[in-house]
Amino acid sequence: MAGRIDFMITQNVDRLHHRAGSNPLELHGTVYSVICIDCGFSFCRELFQEEVKALNPK
């Protein structure tokens, strides 16, 4: 092998690798943010859920 890989790619969406001290590239995102697929705007999932709940009270 010619070199060392100094980053990791993960499919974990629960930030387990972050809590262990790594800084991975999250292949499928996380459960902590919502990202618009049209414009790329990122929003905290918890706040997003509150907005959706307020708009749909039943």
Whether the predicted model's global pTM rises above the 0.85 cut: no
User: Which pLDDT score, from 0 to 100, does residue 14 have?
Assistant: 82
The owner of tokens 């859920």 is: 49
Closest CA to 26 of 36, 37, 13, 43: 13
**Active-site annotation holder among 5, 7, 11, 28:** 28
User: Which pLDDT score, from 0 to 100, does residue 1 have?
Assistant: 58
Could you report the average pLDDT of every consecutive run of 10 residues in the chain (58 residues)? 77 83 82 89 91 89
Cα(34)–Cα(49) distance, rounded to whole angstroms? 10
28 noted as active-site residue:
yes
3-state secondary structure of 50: helix
